[in-house]
Each structure stands twice: as C-alpha cells, then as structure tokens.
Amino acid sequence: MMDYAERLHFVAGEVDKAGLAALIVFAWGAAHGQTTLSHGHMRYLTGWDSQRFCSLLVLVPGRRPIMLVPNIGAFVTAREQLDFCEVRFCASNSLGMAAAACLAEHGIDAEAGLAMLGRDEMPVPVWEQLGRNAAQVTDFAGLINTRRAVKDDAAIARHRRAAAACDAVFAHLPEQLHSGRNLFSIRARLQAVAADHGAEYCDLWLTAAPDAQREYMFKVDMQRIPQRGDQILCGVSLTIDGHWGHGVRAGHMGRPEARHRFYYDVVREIYDTALSQLRPGVDLAAVGEAMDRILAKRIPQHADAQQFSRFRYAHGLGLSYEDPIVTDSFPQPYFAGQRAQSCIAEPGMLLEIHPNIFHASDGGCALGNMIVMTEGGFEELTRHDLALASY
C-alpha cells in the first residue's frame, strides 16, 4: 500500500515528466456526497476531507505540498492530520489568490503550464483569481482515475465496513416502518444508525406508496406514514473514511400484488444475469448489455418514456459515489447519446449493481449490492437478504 506522501511524490514526478510546473487540486468535502467527484481525488492523494468546505492543494515537484483551507476549524484539523503538507489558512473569498501566491513563491508565473484536478467543480472566482486560461491547464484526471480503479486491501477493508453499515440500516428498516412516523422522520433515524456504525455521511431515499413509481428523497415527498399495502424501496448511500457503501432493497407492507411481484422478478433476473456474467477479464460494458437484453425480453415496451423510467443499472464505487473508469461502462439511459465505454474487469474493482425499473402507474422495483471483483470471480459485500421483504 502506498502512503499519501508516496502518492504525492509519484504524482509530482508525473507532473515533472509532462513538463508542467505544478499540480493544482481543488476539492469539495464529503458532506457534498454524490454531487462531488473532486473529493475522491483529494482523498486519494492526501486522505484529507474538508467536509462541507472546499480545499486546494498546490503541488510543485521537488517542494513540500501546500494545502490551502478556507475555514479556521478545518484548518486546525488539517494541520493536525497532514504532517506531510504545509497547511495554510486563507479567506474563502481569496482561495484562488492564495494559490497564485503559492505558485509565485516558487517562481511559477502566470504563463506556466499547470496540471489540474477538480477544475470542473471549482468556483468561477477561484479560477479567475488563479489568472489562468484553458490552454495553460492539463487535466490530470486520466492518470489518477486509472490508479483509483483497482482498490488495495486497505481500501477494500473500509468498503467492507461501509457495506456492513448499509446492512445495519436495512436491518433497522422494519421497526421504523411500523413506528407510526413519516418517511422523513424514519430517514433521520436510519441515518443515525449509519452514524453509529461509523458513517460520516449518509443519505438515503425511501419510498412507501401503493405503487412505487420513483425514489422519494426530498422532504416534500416524504410526508407519508407507511401503511399496509405500500410498496417499500430503500436505497442507502454512505461513506466511512471517505469510502462509499451503497445498497438497495425492496419489500412490501403486507402481501405484494401480482404487478409488484412482477417488477421484483424482472429486476432480480437482471441482477442475477449480471452476476452470471461477472469474472475477471470480462468487459463490463458487455455485462451492461446483458442486463439490457433481459429488460428488453421481459418488458419490450420499456423505452416508452411516458410509462417507464430508470437510472443506470450499475456504477463504480470508491472514493467517489460514481467512481471513474468502471462507471463509464454503464451510461445513464436518460442521457441521449451516451455510449458504454469498454472496461475490463480486474480483481480489486468495486461496483454497485442496482437494476431498477419504474412504471408510471403500476409501481416498480430496485435492488442493489456492492460487488468487489476477486481473483476467482466476485464477492457481494452487502449481505442483507435481497429477497422481496414482507414488512
């Protein structure tokens, strides 16, 4: 396993080889959840999580890395944790100017070429204060993404803890569904379960309705008190030490109707088909195609957007919710023109496989497990029963 100082040393060498003056890494913290990819890069390179704030790393080959933190509380924590960096505080409205000053200290002028990570999430004022234009910047995501795709044993151990936290949430779901509380209140209590198991971040969608037509995730959607006859869908997404856990389960308050059982059976067949295809050396894009064929066979009219909706059937997991490389093999069906990218499965790659389908009036289903590729095949990290639950 590489430590963070070694990772930074390696990346600095690649920056130098590319003839670039420095690497700038901008990142939001883990509190931004699924909406940030930049957090994964910062966490991979330094282990630093700025939570609800942003941070910026300046890495000049041959020099001590500088971490800029525009929050005084986060600055104190970073200074205690990052002994391989010089940690500096700066005002939030001058982050870009502080980065430009760091470059100037090392004799790097405004015309020098830079490597960069996280520019697509960087606020416009930070970019403008840096005084750069696009021609001076080389995106280094390709190098880092490739190295992040295969997890080492330490990372997989953290993902196992995250999977166990997801299982704990699912285990507490039945009692909460019968608590007499509404979905919004139930979600808060399930998030507390995740925190008790070490999760620093947890979000979940929780649907309870006579026909589960989509994920309920906003307060306005979550006022219903679960009652007999409801379809139940629960999707958990959380992080432990920045490493994502994810799972989706389905059930029913009482006995499911035939149409609800039908959608479970379709989704379960898609899931089982994916697992039957998974092994080291397989193209993950081909796994996605096999899943699509089951959907087309079981629900030929699934492309009718007036009646059916769904989201991608799988994605990579890691330090980002949709981890790079692996996720590209499973395009979002509602983004016209996206094409699956080839990715050959290797031991250490981690996926969330979660087939789903929703009908506008008849309900739907979603199921999902964390899957890690192994030398001999794969292992399901989330262990809670995948059967259609009776709550």
Please check the confidence at residue 2 and state whether its pLDDT lies above 70.
no
Same domain, 128 and 53: yes
Please check the confidence at residue 86 and state whether its pLDDT lies above 60.
yes
Whole-angstrom Cα distance, residue 172 to residue 190?
7
Per-residue pLDDT at 135? 84
Per-residue pLDDT at 133? 84
Per-residue pLDDT at 134? 81
Tens of pLDDT along 34-77? Answer: 999 999 999 999 999 999 999 999 999 999 999 999 999 999 99
Among 131, 148, 165, the domain boundary falls at 148
Write down the mean pLDDT value for the chain: 96
Same domain, 141 and 164: no
Q: How many angstroms separate the Cα of 170 from the Cα of each of 53, 235, 249? A: 30, 9, 8
**Averaged pLDDT, 303-319:** 94
Tens of pLDDT along 231-282? Answer: 999 999 999 999 999 999 999 999 999 999 999 999 999 999 999 999 999 9
Same domain, 183 and 90: no
Per-residue pLDDT at 108? 95
Same domain, 331 and 385: yes
Per-residue pLDDT at 132? 86
Band of pLDDT at residue 110, cut at 50, 70 and 90: confident
Please check the confidence at residue 172 and state whether its pLDDT lies above 60.
yes
**CATH code (residue 34):** 3.40.350.10
Same domain, 257 and 322: yes
**Averaged pLDDT, 323-347:** 94
Same domain, 144 and 160: no
Same domain, 22 and 111: yes
Among 113, 148, 183, the domain boundary falls at 148
Same domain, 102 and 158: no
Same domain, 82 and 193: no
The number of domains in the chain is 2
Tens of pLDDT along 180-224? Answer: 999 999 999 999 999 999 999 999 999 999 999 999 999 999 999
Per-residue pLDDT at 101? 96
Among 148, 176, 203, the domain boundary falls at 148
Domain span at residue 118 reads 4-148
Please check the confidence at residue 296 and state whether its pLDDT lies above 80.
yes
**CATH code (residue 221):** 3.90.230.10
Same domain, 225 and 368: yes
Same domain, 324 and 196: yes
**Averaged pLDDT, 306-321:** 96
Same domain, 168 and 241: yes
